[in-house]
Amino acid sequence: MSSARYTRYLVVALVGLTFFYFISRSSLQIPSTASFPNPSPSYEDFKAQKLQSSGNNSSERVNATFVTLARNSDIWEIAKSIRTVEDRFNRNYNYDWVFLNDADFDDDFKKLTTSLVSGTTHYGRIPKAHWSYPEWIDEDKAKEARDEMDRKKIIYGGSESYRHMCRYESGFFFRHPLMLNYEYYWRVEPSIELFCDIGTDPFRFMKENDKKYSFVISLYEYYETIPTLWDSVKKFMSNHPEHIPKGNAMDFISEDGGESYNKCHFWSNFEIGSLEWLRSKEYIDYFSSLDQDGGFFYERWGDAPVHSIAAAILLKKEQIHFFNEIAYYHVPFTHCPTDEQTRLDLRCHCQPDENFDWKGYSCTNRWFKVNDMEKPYGWD
Ligand code: GDP
Ligand code: MN
């Protein structure tokens, strides 16, 4: 077919099709699309709507933030944690989220986490001075200790970065410039899960009830990681009796009035707490005293026993709160409310028989005992 003829056929066909289209529209009375409601509103409208409907409770917020210490490589694990926290709680509150790292966060990490968090995100780099050896530490001795613990197969025993991490969480995260404007924090680690709706704001609960520290899971510490921690605590207590109030929770962590440590601690991968308490003279004196003794490096003191002992000796017992309603998982333990009605009311999806509270290695039993709290039916 010559190209002139081809063009002629094409023009005729197009004219025919156009003609047929108009005829069929008018005869069949098909309304133009403009008279249908717009099936796809613009993305901007959608976002504005979402913000309006999701920010229900944001006007009731207290001055608080989520905080996560993470590496860039934790991105997918922290994404899961953010999703669960947003779905069960923060989508209705839009609290800020602070991310801290000993290196710079990369763009992928920032882009993804900002898209997942309903509140404002902030990214901070940890100053070198807070993630390195203080001058009084003998680094050779620290290395020997790591090698020895590695040989003994103690968990994280050979890791240098884990020790910096524990020391940072024990003594510095609350002093990071990005944290200074907040009053309360909620610590979130990678790969955690929440199993129940959190309908009331735990931050507000903390503030209105003068709570300073809270937990969902407690357990016994691995002794090999803290052989001299209690000696160090006792030294602090005898140097600073003015920091130890009557009515504290010493009975939770000691069976003999403070002579020895029973190794009970609150599991600090979950924490909702007061930053102002951690920044107080009492806590800073405590941390500095422990830090001088070197156990973060010569042993492998965890931030969990360090925070827990501080809460138990520096606070009044009533200032520590057990959040039964916050059902939580961090490998390998679960807290799932014992009471069925609570689980149904809060639309929980945890398996009750996985609840760690009353199992042998949990200290929550003891927490109930020393507080004269009634245990759920069937557990006394
Ligand atoms: P585990 O829960 O005791 O097994 O320890 P994790 O591996 O979960 O570490 C505790 C927290 O510190 C998590 O939020 C980690 O993302 C974070 N973390 C651990 N090591 C490092 C590190 O070297 N650098 C940074 N930036 N974060 C770390
Ligand atoms: Mn963890």
Choice among 51-55, 198-202, 316-320, 326-330 with the minimum mean pLDDT: 51-55
Q: How confident is the model at residue 376 (pLDDT cuts 50, 70, 90)?
A: confident
Give the Å distances, CA to CA, from 22 to 9, 11, 15, 18, 27: 20, 17, 11, 6, 9
Q: How confident is the model at residue 31 (pLDDT cuts 50, 70, 90)?
A: very low
Tell me 219's DSSP state.
E
pLDDT digits (tens, 9 = 90+) for 254-310: 999 999 999 999 999 999 999 999 999 999 999 999 999 999 999 999 999 999 999
CA 348 to chain centre: 19
Question: What per-residue confidence (pLDDT) applies to 199?
Answer: 83
β 264-266/193-194 pair status: unpaired
C-alpha 166 to ligand 1 mean position (Å): 8
Residues with CB under 6 A from ligand 1: 68-71, 74, 101-102, 161-162, 165, 189-190, 269
Given CA atoms 286, 292, 293, 297 in this order, what sign does their dihedral have? positive
Question: What per-residue confidence (pLDDT) applies to 47?
Answer: 45
Query: What is the position in ligand 1's atom list of the atom closest to the CA of 188?
Result: 14
**What residues are annotated to the active site?**
271
Peptide bond preceding 332 in cis form (omega within 30 of 0): yes
Question: What per-residue confidence (pLDDT) applies to 375?
Answer: 81
Q: How confident is the model at residue 337 (pLDDT cuts 50, 70, 90)?
A: very high
This prediction has a pTM of: 0.86
Q: How confident is the model at residue 325 (pLDDT cuts 50, 70, 90)?
A: very high
Ligand number, closest to the Cα atom of 155? 1
The arithmetic mean of pLDDT across residues 208-230, rounded, is 98
Question: What per-residue confidence (pLDDT) applies to 372?
Answer: 93
How high is the mean pLDDT of the chain? 90
Q: How confident is the model at residue 28 (pLDDT cuts 50, 70, 90)?
A: very low
Query: What is the position in ligand 1's atom list of the atom closest to the CA of 269?
Result: 2
CA 292 to chain centre: 28
C-alpha 105 to ligand 2 mean position (Å): 19
Say if CB 142 and CB 136 are below 8 A apart: no
Say if CB 164 and CB 132 are below 8 A apart: yes
Whether the pLDDT of residue 27 is over 50: the answer is no
Nearest CA to ligand 1 atom 18: 70
Question: What per-residue confidence (pLDDT) applies to 150?
Answer: 98
Query: What is the position in ligand 1's atom list of the atom closest to the CA of 77?
Result: 16
Say if CB 184 and CB 206 are below 8 A apart: yes
Question: What per-residue confidence (pLDDT) applies to 20?
Answer: 47
**Proportion of the chain above pLDDT 70, given as a percent:** 84
Ligand number, closest to the Cα atom of 125? 1
Ligand number, closest to the Cα atom of 71? 1
Residue entry with tokens 């070198």: 128
Integer Cα distance of 323 and 337 in angstroms: 10
> CA torsion angle for 149, 234, 363, 251 (degrees, to 10)?
170
Integer Cα distance of 183 and 191 in angstroms: 26
**Exposed / middle / buried, residue 55 (Cβ in 10 Å: 0-12, 13-18, 19+):** middle
Question: What per-residue confidence (pLDDT) applies to 41?
Answer: 55
Whether the pLDDT of residue 326 is over 60: the answer is yes
The arithmetic mean of pLDDT across residues 190-206, rounded, is 97
Whether the pLDDT of residue 10 is over 60: the answer is no
The arithmetic mean of pLDDT across residues 25-52, rounded, is 47
Nearest CA to ligand 1 atom 15: 70
* Probe target for ligand 1 pocket from 66, 67, 71, 296, with the most ligand atoms within 8 Å of CB: 71
Choice among 172-176, 198-202, 287-291 with the minimum mean pLDDT: 198-202
3-state SS record for 275-289: HHHHCCHHHHHHHHH
Whether the pLDDT of residue 130 is over 80: the answer is yes
Say if CB 295 and CB 309 are below 8 A apart: no
Question: What per-residue confidence (pLDDT) applies to 226?
Answer: 98
Q: How many C-beta atoms surround the C-beta of residue 291 within 10 A?
A: 20
Question: What per-residue confidence (pLDDT) applies to 8?
Answer: 64
C-alpha 162 to ligand 2 mean position (Å): 11
Task: List the end-to-end C-alpha distance of the chain, in Å, as a whole number.
Answer: 95
Integer Cα distance of 87 and 120 in angstroms: 16
**Tokens at 59, concatenated:** 């006007």
C-alpha 296 to ligand 1 mean position (Å): 15
C-alpha 106 to ligand 2 mean position (Å): 21
Say if CB 276 and CB 215 are below 8 A apart: no
Q: How confident is the model at residue 45 (pLDDT cuts 50, 70, 90)?
A: low
β-pair partners for 124: 100
**Tokens at 234, concatenated:** 């006792």
Whether the pLDDT of residue 152 is over 50: the answer is yes
Question: What per-residue confidence (pLDDT) applies to 58?
Answer: 80
Question: What per-residue confidence (pLDDT) applies to 3?
Answer: 54
Question: What per-residue confidence (pLDDT) applies to 111?
Answer: 98
